[in-house]
Structure formats: C-alpha cells, structure tokens
Amino acid sequence: MTAADVTSDSNLAALRPPASNAGFSHRSRSRALRNLVARVVMWLAFLIALVPLVWILWSVVTKGGALLLNSTWWTNSQRGITDRMVGGGAAHAIEGTLIEALATAVMAVPIGVMTAIYLVEYGRGRLANIVSFMVDILTGIPSIVAALFIYAVWVTTFGFQRVGFAVCLALVLLMIPVIVRSTEEMLKLVHNDLREASYALGVPKWKTIARVVVPTAFSGIITGILLGLARIMGETAPLLILGPYTKDIATDIFGGLVPTLPTMINQDRTEVLQPAVDRVWGAAMTLILIILLLNIAGRLVSRLGAPKT
Amino acid sequence: MPNITGVSAVDELSGPERHGPPQGNRASTGRLGDRIFSGTARGAGILVIAIVTLVGVFLLSQAIPALAKDKVNFLTSTQWNVDATPLQFGIANLLWVTVLSSALAMVVAVPLGIGVALFITQYAPRWLRGPAASLVDLLAAVPSIVYGLWGLQVLGTHMDGIQGFLIKIFGRLPLFQDAGVAAASTILTVAVVLAIMVLPIVTALSREVFAQTPTTNMEAALALGATRWEMIRTAVLPFGKPGVISASMLGLGRALGETVAVTVILSALAGSAPWSWSMFNGGETFASKIANNAAEFDSPQKAGAFMAAGLVLFGLTFIVNAVARAVINRRKAFVE
C-alpha cells in the first residue's frame, strides 16, 4: 500500500524537532507523542492476542502430546479401561468423529451447494431474498438451539432414541449456512463471459452451470466444504444433548451410541486421576490436530486452484 | 470534519463488482434437464426456508404448553423448578448471567480486536501481515470444549489474583462483590474465555473493512500533514465504523449462544442461591442451563421449559444478528 510507505517518511519527520520543518508540516511534540503511543498500543494489542493462542497450544501439547506418540492411541478404543489404568486409545472417538462428519457432509453439501446455485444463478425476486435471509438466520443459530430443535423433532415428536444420526441432523443445520455462503462467493467470482460463451455455443443453462460454472469454482467450493467440516467437528453442544458417549468402537450411526472426540473429552473432564486427565488432554490435542489439518487442506486447495477466470 | 472522514466515500462506493448472470430466463431453453436442475436448486432454497421455519414452530409448539402451566412470571422470576407440581420457572437469572458474561467479553474483545485489525492492516511490516492474520484466525480453529477445559484448568488457576485485585479496589460496587465462588468458575473467567473465542471474528471482519479504506482518503489525510494515527482516526476508523459495529454484533451473537465452554467453566449454583449482581458469582446461561440438564428432558413438560429458554436465546441472537445485518446493509461499507 503506497499510503503506508508515505507514512513511514512522515513519521520520521514527526520525530524531528518542529523547528526543522516549519510551515505546512509543523508538528507539535504532543501529536508526535500520540502517534508513537498509538503505534505501541497496536503492537501490544497484537502481542496480547497471541498470548492465549500460544498458551492454549502449549497447554494442550504439554499435557496431551505424549499420548499421541504411542501407536495404541490411534488403534485402540477405551474398552475396559478405567480411570486408574494407563492405556487404551482414541480410535473409537476418532472414527466416530470422522463418520459423523462424513454423514453430515453427505446431507449438508448437496443442499448447501444447490441453495448457493439457486441464489446466484436462478434466484430473483422475493423468494431469493427470503432464502438469503433464512441462510443469515441459520448462520446465527446457536448450536444448542439447533440441538434442541432436533431433540424436539427426533425424540419428543417421533419418539426415536438418541443416536448418532440425530447428531448429524443437528450438525447439518450448522453446516448448511457455511457452505451456502462460501459457495455463493465462489460462484459470483466466475466471470459472466464464460457463461455467455457457453450459451452462445447453444449449451443449455443447466449444463452451463454443471459443466462450466461449478468446475471453474470447484476448488473454492471444496475449500468451503473443508472449512465447514472443521467447524462442525469441534461442535460439542449437539453431542451433549443427542449423542451420549461410549467407550467401545461403534460406527453404526443409526444403531445407537457413537463416541466422538468432544464427548470423550466431556466424559472425563471432571476426573482427577492422572491417567484419565492425560487422556482428556490427548483427545483435545487430537481434535485440534484434525481440525488444523482440515484448515490447512482448505487453504492449500484454495491456493492451488484459485478460480480460473 | 465530515469532509475528510470518508463518510462521503462510503456512500459513493458501488459495492462488490457484480458478476451476476444474465437476467431472466434468456439462457434457459425449457428443456427437461433445465427444468429438473432449476427445480432442484429452487427446492434446496425452499428446504432452507422450511428448516428455519420448522425450528421456530417446533420450539414454540413445545414451549407454549409448558409456559401455560408456569405459575410464576417467566421473564422476572428467578426460580427454576421444573420438577415441582405447580411448574415454576423464570429466566431472570439466566438472562442476567448470559448478558453479563457476553457484555464483559465484548468489553475486552472489541477494543482488542480493533487494535489487532489496525495492527495487521496499518502497522505490521508487510511480511508479517499474512502470518499475523492467520495466527489470529487460528484461535477460531480451537474447539469450544478445549476452550472450556483450558479456561477451567489452566486459565482459572491464575484468576485468583485478578479477582482479589478487583475486589480490593471496587469491592463496594454490587458488580464486584465477592460471591464466594472459586475464581476459576466465575462469570469473569467465562467472559475472558468468551472474549478470546470471539476475538478472531471481530478481528477478521474489522480487518476486512479497514483494508478497504480508499487509498485516496488515506493519502489525502497524510497530504494534509496528519500523522499516521491522525490518518487512522480521520480516514480509516470512520470508514470502517459500520463494519466494526456489525463485526462486534456478530461476535456478540456468538458469545450469547456459546454453550460448551460456559458449561464446563461456570459453576452452576444451587436453586436457593440468593440473587447477586456480581461478576464473581457462578450461575448458568441459557445455553449452559440447557446443556447441564440434557438428561432431564424426560417429560414433555420439563423439556418444554428448556425449549422456552432456548427460544429466548434464539430470539436474542436473532435480534443481535439482525442489527448487525441492518448496519451492514444500510451503509454498504463492506462486502461480506
């Protein structure tokens, strides 16, 4: 930014005694001082913001990192492991987390992407405005309210059991708006010339969207999906209400309890015995690692395949 | 000094460059594929409308019967006896704890977020800008249960000193009275953790608006002899104000609805605990009340009481988000 370069010069001027630059650029000592104070405050703000980040990562790594180096952490479940015993792993929770995230994505991605296509390519008039407004509301829904809603439908109204699938339904509500907004943004970036060129060749509109517009924006859409996945994997509130924990490997989301990393943390968070405490922090570290990997993957995809415009 | 504050520039800004598709149905040939595809797209949109409507309808339909049986005033009572035969539940406590913790969080997060955003856009050396932004964004990648765990077991152990210091100075005020709750589990600790959680939201959006300040405005301020801070005060901040307000509101919406971190940290008080205004008290927010009692939803009556609390939370976050959107829309200062 050119403005910034200009300022660094004027700052030097500001620090010089006022006599040396009389006339237009006269600067009093107090103005220069205020300028300096502002600069220090901004640097401090940034450094203060880094404190919790470093502190949290440090706590998680030092308290839970050691467990992750053990291969049984990635292969075993907690079956038969009690608070006093060292050992066992988080394989059941990792699997459960991934399966639920996948099931959620299978439902949320088509709805989200199609809604975005509707808003960008088709939507005109009242209906489109209402849809857009509703997506905004969905963005702001607290996760506990989404969970309550699914509870009201799934358990109270239909009388089903609390199962993994109900959790997925609640997560779908939270994932849809993320996908709609990111996909929408990417579709808007696709140049109109591409669409018009396609029409000029006699390609119908639906084929233009499916073969030209979506492929052009594809990497951006994938990034949005990965970031959406990262967001819902860390959600715990729906799990508290709809997805009780179990220590065994359980992958049937319709059949009953599916253990996940957040519920694994929640289950033992009040423990005082060291082996259990270690496992809680180990699970926290594992969860952060998975979410971090998804974030990095999302950024890589968007960097490698920026929309070809 | 409206002429150099950038206000006029905001109004002249044409918003995002529109790459909208051709208007109307010119491109559609009405073939079967077209009809199916556009129908599916519209169906997805309608499904979204249906979902949001259903959320409201279902929560209302379950909350109303319980509210009808409620023997105390729902808004002003501090009781919460959903087991009692004359059903008694009120949200005064929940509302106060929710609002107080979120408000305290915003007091910390908004100035800090603005400072960090200004640092990244105006002060940081160029090589540091990208990494600095990513680092702050990383805070958003930490799951809320990890925040809760860290807040209670790590941060909480350091809150004693701060609490003692504040009580010593301001102890006479009701807001700062010692309530006898362990320092790790107070509303203040929750507020600090919430502030950290919303910091990336406030920072990211503020950063975006600040970066959009027209260079000409900034150069004009500098050309008039402004120092860099004066340039920020007269050009960048006025331009970014609506964006910062809406960023803060979105952060507030997040803080109000945060569940797990609050549930883990805050110590829930016994039902008979006396009312206190103190930020050193325990208590429950709407969200943590619901989460703490998830096992108790066995009768429709009890569940209804919690649905009513959930509905109020939904309403609160809705209003906050609506205000945020209104501010953005009225002054098209930034592109989402």
Q: Please write the tens of the pLDDT for every residue from B157-170.
A: 888 888 888 888 88
Contacts of A262 in chain B (CB under 8 A): 143, 145, 260
> What is the extent of the structural domain holding B90?
2-6+31-330
In-domain check, residue A162: yes
In-domain check, residue B81: yes
Residue range B200-211, pLDDT digits in tens = 999 998 998 899
Residue that has been written with the tokens 């008290």 in this structure: B281
Helices (H), chain A: 2-15, 29-68, 71-75, 91-117, 125-140, 143-150, 164-189, 192-200, 205-208, 214-216, 218-233, 237-242, 261-268, 274-304
Contacts of A274 in chain B (CB under 8 A): none
Rounded to whole angstroms, the Cα distance separating B31 from B20 reads 23
Angle between helices B187-211 and B237-257 (to 10 degrees): 140
Residue range A215-268, pLDDT digits in tens = 989 888 998 899 889 889 988 888 888 877 877 777 777 877 888 899 889 888
pLDDT along chain A (309 residues), means of 10: 46 47 59 92 94 94 87 82 78 90 94 94 86 88 90 85 88 93 90 90 89 90 89 88 80 80 87 86 93 89 67
CA distances from B93 to A132, B252, B281 (A): 35, 19, 11
The enclosing domain of B316 has a CATH number of 1.10.3720.10
Q: Does B16 touch chain A (CB under 8 A)?
A: yes
Is B218–A3 a contact, with Cβ atoms under 8 angstroms apart?
Answer: yes
Contacts of A236 in chain B (CB under 8 A): 143-145, 259-260
Is B44–A192 a contact, with Cβ atoms under 8 angstroms apart?
Answer: no
In-domain check, residue B115: yes
The shortest C-alpha distance from B230 to chain A (Å) reads: 7
In-domain check, residue B239: yes
pLDDT for residue B149: 92
Q: Does B149 touch chain A (CB under 8 A)?
A: yes
Q: Do A208 and A271 fall into the same domain?
A: yes
Rounded to whole angstroms, the Cα distance separating B300 from A262 reads 28
In-domain check, residue A127: yes
Contacts of A153 in chain B (CB under 8 A): 54, 58
A24, A49, A110: residue with CB nearest B112: A49
B47, B229, B294: residue with CB nearest A35: B229
Q: Do A58 and A97 fall into the same domain?
A: no
Structure tokens at A244: 């009780």
Q: Does B81 touch chain A (CB under 8 A)?
A: no
Q: Do A202 and A264 fall into the same domain?
A: yes
Contacts of A169 in chain B (CB under 8 A): none
> What is the extent of the structural domain holding A233?
91-304
Q: Does B74 touch chain A (CB under 8 A)?
A: no
In-domain check, residue A152: yes
Rounded to whole angstroms, the Cα distance separating B119 from A42 reads 5
Q: Do A105 and A62 fall into the same domain?
A: no
B225, B250, B321: residue with CB nearest A25: B225
Q: Does B39 touch chain A (CB under 8 A)?
A: no
Q: Do A48 and A166 fall into the same domain?
A: no
In-domain check, residue B23: no
The shortest C-alpha distance from A172 to chain B (Å) reads: 11
Q: Do A21 and A118 fall into the same domain?
A: no
Q: What is the pTM of this model?
A: 0.85
pLDDT for residue B50: 94
Structure tokens at A188: 């808007």
Q: Do A31 and A130 fall into the same domain?
A: no
Contacts of A42 in chain B (CB under 8 A): 115-116, 118-119, 122-123
Contact A50, A42 (CB under 8 A): no
Q: Do A148 and A264 fall into the same domain?
A: yes
B141, B222, B257: residue with CB nearest A230: B141
The shortest C-alpha distance from B89 to chain A (Å) reads: 18
End-of-domain residue from the set A67, A102, A124: A67
The shortest C-alpha distance from B213 to chain A (Å) reads: 11
In-domain check, residue B335: no
Number of domains in chain A: 2
Q: Do A127 and A228 fall into the same domain?
A: yes
Contact A266, A245 (CB under 8 A): yes
In-domain check, residue B71: yes
Is B297–A151 a contact, with Cβ atoms under 8 angstroms apart?
Answer: yes
Q: Which of B4, B17, B19, B35 to mutate to test the interface with A (most CBs of A within 10 A)?
A: B19
E strands, B62-170, where?
Answer: 80-81, 88-89
Is B297–A142 a contact, with Cβ atoms under 8 angstroms apart?
Answer: no
In-domain check, residue A300: yes
Q: Does B300 touch chain A (CB under 8 A)?
A: yes
Rounded to whole angstroms, the Cα distance separating B7 from A307 reads 34
Q: Do A249 and A179 fall into the same domain?
A: yes
Rounded to whole angstroms, the Cα distance separating B261 from B268 reads 13
End-of-domain residue from the set A52, A67, A82: A67
pLDDT for residue A3: 46
Q: Does B47 touch chain A (CB under 8 A)?
A: yes
pLDDT for residue A26: 56
A39, A149, A287: residue with CB nearest B55: A149
Residue segments in chain B with a per-residue pLDDT below the cut of 70? 1-30, 271-272, 331-336
The end-to-end CA distance of chain B, in Å, is: 28
Nearest CA-CA partner of A148 in B94, B302, B58? B58
pLDDT for residue B332: 57
Cβ-based neighbours of A85, under 8 Å, separated by 6 or more: A275
B29, B34, B41: residue with CB nearest A117: B41
In-domain check, residue B210: yes
Contacts of A35 in chain B (CB under 8 A): 227-230
Q: Do A238 and A144 fall into the same domain?
A: yes
Q: Which residue of B has its CA nearest to A142?
A: B257
Number of domains in chain B: 1
In-domain check, residue B19: no
pLDDT for residue B18: 44
Q: Do A54 and A127 fall into the same domain?
A: no
